[in-house]
Structure 1
Amino acid sequence: MDAALRDRFGVEGQWGVWREHTIRWAECDIYAHVNHAAYLTLFEDMRIDWWLGAGGAFGPDKPGPVVGSLEVKYHRPGHFRDDVLLCVRTASFRRTSFVHQYAMWRDGLLCSARALCVVIDNATGQKAEIPEAMRELMSERDGAVAEV
């Protein structure tokens, strides 16, 4: 992320993946505020982008991330037609799980979330190990910490 983009949206910290988004009416409530569920859908889109960009795949015979827990903080309201920046990064990882952090920025932080994701082998329903190349990407690009 370059300095101009960081300044434009008031972004703080290191983020592994980001994209610009304009808030649509379908993502708002009757007051033209971003609906609480829309934040989660946008963050889910970022989780999918992150997974695919990190070499993951989706399918009935492929391992993929499943959200085990989710915590959301609504800092300030977003509004219809706001230009925002959506961000995701991996904060930490273990053998079969990782913690993602999400943020929506517009003149500073609007919403943040933290999700514990477990990698599940969809063919068996069992936990699956995070591939080594993905673990390296988590560390190098996102600044994630390996936990024991």
Structure 2
Amino acid sequence: MDAALRERFGVEGDWALSKEHTIRWAECDIYAHVNHAAYLTLFEDMRIDWWLGAGGGFSATAPGPVVGSLEVKYHRPGKFQDRVLLTARTVSFRRTSFVHQYAMWRDGVLCSARALCVVVDNATGLKAEIADPMRRLMAERDGAVAEG
């Protein structure tokens, strides 16, 4: 992310992935504020983009991330037709899981979230190890810390 984009949206900290988005009416409540569920869907889109960009895939036989827990903090309301910046990064990882952080920015942070994601082998339903190249990417690009 370049300095101009960071300044335009009031972004703090380092983020591995960012994407601009315009809030659609379908993402709002009757007061034209972003609906709480829409934040989670937009963060899910970031999680999918992150996983695919890190070399992962989605199929009935490939391992993929499943959200084990999710914590969300609503700082200020987003509104219909706001131009926002969505961000994602991995902050830590273990053998079969990782922690993602997400944020939506417009003149500073509007909403932030933290998700514990478990990698699951979709063919068996069992936990799967995170591949070494993905672990390296988490550490080198995102600055994630290896735990346990």
TM tier relative to shorter chain: over 0.9
SS of aligned partner of 2:135: helix
AA matched with 1:99: V
State the secondary structure of the residue aligned to 1:60: coil
- Residue number in structure 2 paired with 1:16: 16
Match of 1:114 in 2: 114
The 2-side partners of 1:140 and 1:111 are apart by: 26
In 1, Cα distance between the equivalents of 2:37 and 2:119? 23
Q: Secondary structure at the match of 1:56?
A: coil
Give % identity. 82
Q: After TM superposition, give the deviation of residue 109 of structure 1 in Å.
A: 0.3
TM-score, normalised with respect to structure 1: 1.00
Gapped regions of structure 2 (runs ≥ 5): none
In the alignment, the residues of structure 2 paired with residue 96 and residue 75 of structure 1 have an alpha-carbon distance, to the nearest angstrom, of 31
The count of aligned residue pairs is: 148
Cα distance in structure 2, aligned partners of 1:85 and 1:71: 19
2:84 maps to what in 1? 84
Structure 1 runs (4+) deviating above 4 angstroms are none
Q: Which residue number in structure 2 is paired with residue 68 of structure 1?
A: 68
Q: What letter is aligned with 1:13?
A: G
Consecutive unaligned residues of structure 1, counting only runs of 5 or more, are: none
- Give the alignment's TM-score, normalised by structure 2: 1.00
- Which whole-Å CA distance do the structure 2 matches of 1:25 and 1:107 have between them? 20
Question: Which residue does the alignment assign to 1:26?
Answer: 26
SS class of match (1:8): helix
Shift of residue 115, structure 1, vs aligned partner: 0.2
Residue 97 of structure 1 corresponds to 97
